[in-house]
Structure 1
Amino acid sequence: MIDSSIMNLMMELATFSFIVPLVLIIVWKLRTRKSLIPVFIGAGIFFVFAYVLEAIPHTFFLRINSPVSTFLTGNPWAYALYGGIMAALFEETGRYIAFRIFLKNHAERETAVSYGLGHGGIECIIVLGLGHLQNYTYCQLINNG
């Protein structure tokens, strides 16, 4: 049986993970009166590059049974290095494409902050918010037998 205080904390963290990025984006919009296009581009680029495109090498290097996947999953240092390199490669490439192609007409400081709020906001929602909701659901299933 999982204690209700732990489950309540999971739900509070999930709620917090959804609300904080949205509040920050709203406050930033009201303060700067700039377009929200960079926010949406940041969120979209993060999703496409970190979740869609980055999954391709993970399939080959981690999920297919091979000597490379055995080495990476069996060695924490190699796994961490691989994860860092893949994240850097895909997220920085996405950031470069976003600013070079989609945001070339938005050459202001506020654009970088807006892009970061979109990128970090969707990451917070997906990783923390949805992760805690999933764990909360599992706790409910465990408690209900």
Structure 2
Amino acid sequence: MDPRFTALAVSAFLNIAIPVALVIIIRQRFNVSWKVILYGALVFLVFQVIARIPAMAILQSEAREWMNATNTNFVLFMLFAAVTAGLLEECGRWIGYRYWIPEHRRWQDGVGFGAGHGGFEAAFLIGSIQLLSLATLYILLYVDYHTLFPQVAEQLDTAKDTFLQVDWYTYLWSVFERACAIVIQISLSLIVLTAFVKGSIRYLFLAIGYHTIVDLTPLVLHFSKSYFITEMAVLILALFSAKIIKNQISSIQSELQDHDNVPII
């Protein structure tokens, strides 16, 4: 069996299995309500999958020629994309905490909310797409499509050549990226939760700013042309996010111990 097919199959499985396992562990260990986890996933579905991604796809298609004209244009477009992602997702988180789960203010709820958000992103946006790619790759590698689909055989030959140019281990990078992304999403969820626990809207703006920085990492790949350097940048952000998680947990615990009532913002 072609190693690319095997690697893609493993990657698709892990990108679905790891988030599911993580959510189950968090729910059992921290006694987090399914409501919190599912609303975390709903925020990503509504504010990214439904609201932002289709709009950005249309905009990117219309602006492709301009975007690729110069590096400056590319950077400006990526900055716009990063800012819109930060605004929509973090404001979505704020709406979720404020209106959907106003009674859940423990740090454990913030972790569950972030795991639901990041886990759904990994399983739905990455894992499901990889399953579709796996089906396509199976046809390209193991099906006589010249006989079955003669009208599109030439296009399928081109697609097959593209697949075969990719090193097998490249497909496994996505597992590492999604694991790091879930850590980052949990940190962002805790930052936004802190806005409610401390009664300060500035934490929402901090989350938007940090999310924007995270979403600018594709620029590293664009200019370095190195997947390794890009993944190291992602790892650094994940480690920094782990530190944020630790700090925000301590901050939320301290604030809730000092105050009986959580401020409403």
TM-score normalised over the length of structure 2: 0.49
Once the two structures are superposed, residues 73-132 of structure 1 have per-residue CA deviations (whole angstroms, 9 ceiling, x without a partner) of 543212211210121111011111001111211111111001001000000012321122
Secondary structure of 2:24's match? helix
Distance in 1 (alpha carbons) for counterparts of 2:130 and 2:53 = 22
8 Å CA contact 1:14–1:132 kept in 2: the answer is yes
8 Å CA contact 2:56–2:81 kept in 1: the answer is no
Unaligned runs of 5+ in 2: 146-265
Secondary structure of 1:105's match? coil
Q: 1:71 corresponds to which residue?
A: 66
CA RMSD of aligned residues (A): 1.9
Aligned counterpart for 1:97 among listed residues 86, 95, 98: 95
Q: 2:43 corresponds to which residue?
A: 45
Distance in 1 (alpha carbons) for counterparts of 2:104 and 2:86 = 24
Q: Percent identity?
A: 22
Once the two structures are superposed, residues 30-87 of structure 1 have per-residue CA deviations (whole angstroms, 9 ceiling, x without a partner) of 1122311110000011011001111464266334x4xx56433543212211210121
Q: Who wins on radius of gyration, i.e. which is larger?
A: 2
1:106 lines up with 2:100 in the alignment: no
**Which amino acid in 1 is paired with 2:105?**
A
8 Å CA contact 1:73–1:79 kept in 2: the answer is no
Tell me by how many angstroms 1:19 deviates. 0.7
8 Å CA contact 1:38–1:103 kept in 2: the answer is yes
Q: 1:120 corresponds to which residue?
A: 118
- Closer/same/farther in 2, CA of residues 73 and 43 from structure 1, 3 Å limit: farther
Distance in 2 (alpha carbons) for counterparts of 1:109 and 1:136 = 38
Unaligned runs of 5+ in 1: none
8 Å CA contact 1:7–1:136 kept in 2: the answer is yes
Matched ranges for 1:11-22 at <5 A: 11-22=9-20
Distance in 1 (alpha carbons) for counterparts of 2:57 and 2:8 = 30
8 Å CA contact 1:21–1:121 kept in 2: the answer is yes
Q: Which aligned runs of 4 or more in structure 1 are off by greater than 6 angstroms?
A: none
TM-score normalised over the length of structure 1: 0.86
